[in-house]
Chain A
């Protein structure tokens, strides 16, 4: 039996093993995984939290044509104890709030900045105390209670529901968060990799994704 090496966005950490627990997964920020692929990392499949990174890799000849397989939304999270008493996105701009976000270039970091721009709340970014390299590090620092607030995907917030409170972001301010998957051109198991991608687009996998809070592809 062939075990595939799957490079996947950190936000897929819980759901992909639930869909198929047999493969070798490497979860990180999609841009970090892309940098590894560009340095010749041996992956069979690449699943990114946006479409622009896999499209760029496609143009560089590193992956086959990417396909969108799921979608997501952003949410603001605060620790359950809510030490900075944040009840809206605007509250995050209050003096002294410790906001943790993902860095620019990390998909969720770019989405975070889009959301704030859409809401005309760019001033919130003055309270950033750390630019993290993937969404799970943002999640961990808020869940730990050390950061006052963070922007993550709705699905991440669900995975630590007992430790964080979510403050929803209105639909009109949401960016278009689409996840794209592609087979790596350097893969030694292309047939198996393509079959895996097909499975990800299939009914059973899509049901698992929706159960975890991901949104169907329109």
Chain B
């Protein structure tokens, strides 16, 4: 009995700890004020930048990340090392990712580009830190596709391209969608790499998280309102993910493969 009480006690502490900061944001911003902030140009500009850059980053992630995952889902020598390298940006401190972007794409970086401080810089920062989440999910999804079904499709005369789009993608769809949603949610929250590599300019590179940071020093209430908006966006993404019944089986696969 005591053990049970301890477990439940600790569990409620844990749940409370995770939930409290999010609830507190809404407790301090009455809904009326939150909606009023949607007219604040500082908020709408940041929302527009966030939506634009996230949409482009997400498109790039899907276009480049999917073939990446297809290749990495195969078995070959050095694959584990390659997967680890691709996943590394996920666990890198964002400031390190920002510095790495300068070292690679800066004016004096390896590739000598003029990308820093542009919208494209935001896109790259977002794609770098959130893309691996999609690739990781997509690898797991492709690995879970039954090889026999793929073989059957080929035996029945479908070419590799047709098999990929008509058999593999539909079978992996749930896993791909889950990975994409997680990457999108993470990308919307990207802060450290963006503020270093893209700077912060309203209407150009100032995303919602950057606006929270700059408004914190100016007007705490506006910062709270933007935070509430970010929480709502992220929650909507997570809810959309959880409410797709076909995904419930998939989460087991994620758990098993990670």
Contact = CB atoms under 8 A, between A and B. Distances in A.
Contacts of A83: 107
B54 interface: no
Given A129-B117, A144-B102, A146-B102, A35 B200 contact: no
Contacts of B106: 144-146
A147 B218 CA distance: 25
A147 B199 CA distance: 10
A141 interface: yes
Interface in A120-145: 128-133, 141, 144-145
Contacts of A146: 102, 106-108, 116-117
B220 A133 contact: no
Interface of B: 102, 106-108, 116-118, 198-202, 204-206, 213-214, 216-218, 220
Contacts, number: 61
Interface residues of A, number: 24
Contacts of B199: 100, 129-132, 141
A175 interface: no
Interface of A: 29, 31-32, 34-35, 38-39, 83, 98, 100, 103, 105-106, 128-133, 141, 144-147
A196 B57 CA distance: 51
Contacts of A38: 220
Given A29-B217, A103-B214, A144-B102, A132 B200 contact: yes
Contact of B218 (A31, A100, A128, A132): A31
Given A38-B220, A129-B199, A146-B102, 12 more contacts: A29-B217, A98-B116, A103-B200, A103-B214, A103-B217, A128-B201, A129-B201, A129-B204, A130-B200, A130-B205, A131-B202, A145-B106
